[in-house]
Structure formats: structure tokens, C-alpha cells
Amino acid sequence: MFLHGTSRINEAGHLEIGGCDVTELKAEYGTPLYIMDEQLVRRRAREYVDAFTASGLGFQVAYASKAFSVMAMCRIADEEGLSLDVVSDGELYTALQAGFPAERIHFHGNNKTPDEIEMAIEAGIGCFVVDNLVELRLLQAIAASKGANVKILLRVTPGVEAHAHHAYASTGQTDSKFGFDIGNGSALEAVRLASDQANLQLLGVHSHIGSQIFETEGFQLAVERIAEFTRKVKEELGIDFPVVNLGGGFGIRYVEGDTPLAVSDYVAAITDAVKTHFAGISDHLPEIWVEPGRSIVGDAGTTLYTVGTSKEIPGVRKYVAVDGGMTDNPRPALYESKYEAILANRANEAGEETVSIAGKCCESGDMLIWDVELPKVNSGDLLAVACTGAYNYSMASNYNRIRRPAVVFVQNGQSDLVVRRESHQDIIANDVVPQRIAKQPVTK
């Protein structure tokens, strides 16, 4: 298994992350356990900030909190000077409760509810990314009723098909549920309308072309198309865009064969394209915003499991089951995503058998990894799956009423609990048994 960030094999032959031996983390917190390498998260955040600073352009790096939204992560994003992208009242609430400055929060989504819009305006967030005309009218009406002036970007689809890891992760093409299409004229119409709304201040446009992208071409093409559009808007409507938001989607290495670029290379490709294509459209180059999620937290996460049962089917394969699965990592079942693993308590031993890692859900699709080479695996061994920091905890479920794991941050030999493990009590916390069918007075 590739060792990311501060991960290393220590003298005892155990996996160690952030200076913490994972066998000790298991003893303290139990398994399954999400372990986040705090130093690596901060390093990734700084790589973005440093690369944009070097470009000389104005910028905001908004951490896409959908990748991993918990209060401690919002604190780190704030400390590192990032902005924050939220897509629901839940993500907004998390950020506000963590003390994240509202003016650096951007609200996304293709179906923001009136309640969400009110909550965000009352909190004083920095910007709405408006997805469609229904939302535009609703936002204007709510802003007017509150006497508020609200900054907006318009989400556009530049007609770029990014080479994302799965069709569900491509969003920049014309046939998408998101945004106003540039190609068919609806984006220009939206700009005309938006600039007419008394309580809305149009800052510019937003595009997000997909996720887990390894090449720069898609981003460069999006910049080119948006620049052409910006020129047209300027010529036909006399409107300038002070901001262009290019979304997220920067890829990371999950398994051998994944070939992400360095953060600085993605940023340089984007900022160079902006300098080339936006030159001369108006007096100033626009401020560039991006929204990385996966590439800030993905490779910093490791999930630690305890091995339970195994089953060998002679001539077919050996299944090894762990105490988690699709409930804490639905990505293999959803996208056929691939992961690497290591036997974390005997990490210095050579591979001896090829096994497939199964989860514990009542579902045959609940497989975490097919065919991974490990030392001979026994019950009670610890299995670490790497690169689980993004879209794992945030997409976890209670299927089969399995309790969601704890999350710890590790750094410099210290571990800090940032999400406690769900209890049995948590599992039934929202259940209500009507008295008429209750067997006994309900106690919780």
C-alpha cells in the first residue's frame, strides 16, 4: 500500500499515522475508525493557497465541505485561510456552529429550499451560487423581504465533458441537472435577468466540470469557454465579472495507476489559462475561486477495521470480512471505486495470500476491495484502507442499523476525537413508537 502523508511503518511493524501507532488508536477508540492525518490536510490547503499566491491573481480557495463536513474540519479550513462551499442547511449549520466566518461561505445546490435561503441570508453568507431561474426569483423575493443585498454567482455549464472517474461525477456537459448552459443561450439570458434584480449583486459565473480529474485540459477549456462568454456579456450587456469560480474536481491517488498532478500544476494551468484568455476583456483580470474537496482531505484519511470472519471457496477466492463496509465507505458499491489496504498490525510482513475484503452488511455488493495481496490474515488483525478522507464519513449511512464510526485527527503523536462513535442510543434517537402500538411505556 502506498503510504500517504505522515503514514509509515514503525519499528513494531505497525502502521503509524501522525506519529500514532494504529494498534493504540484501536485500543483507545475501537474500530472501524476514520483516522485523519491533520498535517497532510493542512499541507494540501497550503499548497492551494501558495500556488494561487504565486500566480499573482486575486483568489479564494473554498473547501468543498461535502467531501468531509464536521466542525473540526471547518476549524482547520478557517485556520488555513480557506473559504467554504456548503450545499445544505446541515453543512451551513455545521460551519456556523464551528465559528466559520459567514462571509467566506458560498452556498451551492440545484434545489435550495426557501428555509435554507432564509437561514443563509440571516447568517450573512458571502455568496449564493444560483443554479436556475426558479432559484433566482426565489432568492430575489426573499432578499427583498429582508431588505438584504445578496451577492451571487451564476452556475453555468461550459459544455466540457471532463474525464471524471464515473459518469455521475461529470457535471460540466450540456445535459446536466446543474446550471445554465452557455451553448444554448440560457446563461446569457440568466445574466441579463440577474443583473436586473434589485437585491442581487452579480459577481460572475461558476462552473464545475467533474470530480477526480487528472488532466488540465478540461479546466483550460472551461476557462476558455467562460472567457468567451465573459467577453460576450461585456459586449452585449456591458457587464463585468469580477469573479470566476472554476469549481473543484482535482484528482488524487487512490491506487497504483492513478496519475494526479501536483496541486501547483493544476493551479498553474488554470491561472495561466485565465491570464491568456481573459486578457483585455476588462481592466482587471477576474478573481479566481476554486472549490477543492477530495484533494484537500482524500489522501489524509485512513479507515481502520478489525478482521472478523473469513471464508475460503476452494479454487474461487477467499473472503475476509471486516467490522465495517458499505456503511462507512459506499464508494466501491456506488462507483466501483478501488482502494489499497495493508495489514496494519503486521505491516512489515510480506504478502502471502490474495483475498477480497467484504463488509458486514446483508448485501453481496458490500465489498470494499477485490483481490488484495496481504500476509496470512487472521481474526483480530487490523486492516487499514487508505485514501478514505473524502466522501466516506460524509456519505456514511446507518444501513442495517450499523453505527457510524468515530473520527480522530492525528498529528505529532497526538490523537484527538473529532466525531464520537455512534451509540445504540443514537440509533433509535429519532424513533417514535406511538402509544397505541407500544408494548411497554417507551423508555430511551
CB of 20 to ligand LLP, least distance (A): 26
CB of 246 to ligand LLP, least distance (A): 9
Provide the pairing of β-strand 127-130 with 150-157. parallel
**Residue 351 CB burial class (10 angstroms; 0-12, 13-18, ≥19):** exposed
CB of 421 to ligand LLP, least distance (A): 22
Closest CA to 297 of 120, 63, 121, 61: 63
Calpha distance 257→45 (Å, rounded): 24
| C-beta atoms surrounding 421 within 10 Å | 16
Provide the pairing of β-strand 406-411 with 414-419. antiparallel
Nearer to ligand LLP, 164 or 347 (CB): 164
Task: Report which DSSP code applies to 233.
Answer: H
Nearer to ligand LLP, 18 or 249 (CB): 249
How far the first Cα of the chain sits from its last, in Å, is 44
Q: Which residues contact 75 (CB under 8 A, 6 or more apart)?
A: 98, 99, 100
* Helix (H/G/I), strand (E/B), else coil: 35: strand
Cis peptide before 32 (omega within 30 of 0): yes
Nearer to ligand LLP, 176 or 201 (CB): 176
In terms of phi and psi (left: phi > 0; alpha: psi -120 to 50; beta: otherwise), the region of 149 is: beta
Is 362 catalytic? The answer is yes
Report CA-CA distances (Å) from 422 to 30, 121, 384: 12, 32, 20
CB of 110 to ligand LLP, least distance (A): 10
Calpha distance 137→135 (Å, rounded): 5
Residues that bind ligand LLP (CB under 6 A): 64, 67, 85, 108, 169, 208, 211-212, 247-250, 291-295, 331, 335, 390-391
Element (H or E) spanning 302, and its range?
strand 301-313
CB of 338 to ligand LLP, least distance (A): 12
Task: Report which DSSP code applies to 440.
Answer: S
**CB of 286 within 8 A of CB of 274?**
yes
Nearer to ligand LLP, 391 or 409 (CB): 391
Report CA-CA distances (Å) from 29 to 15, 138, 307, 361, 402: 16, 46, 16, 22, 17
| C-beta atoms surrounding 422 within 10 Å | 17
CB of 278 to ligand LLP, least distance (A): 21
Nearer to ligand LLP, 338 or 346 (CB): 338
Cell 479507515 -> residue? 303
Catalytic residue among 20, 74, 127, 362: 362
Nearer to ligand LLP, 277 or 331 (CB): 331
Nearer to ligand LLP, 208 or 277 (CB): 208
CB of 86 to ligand LLP, least distance (A): 11
Residues with catalytic roles: 362
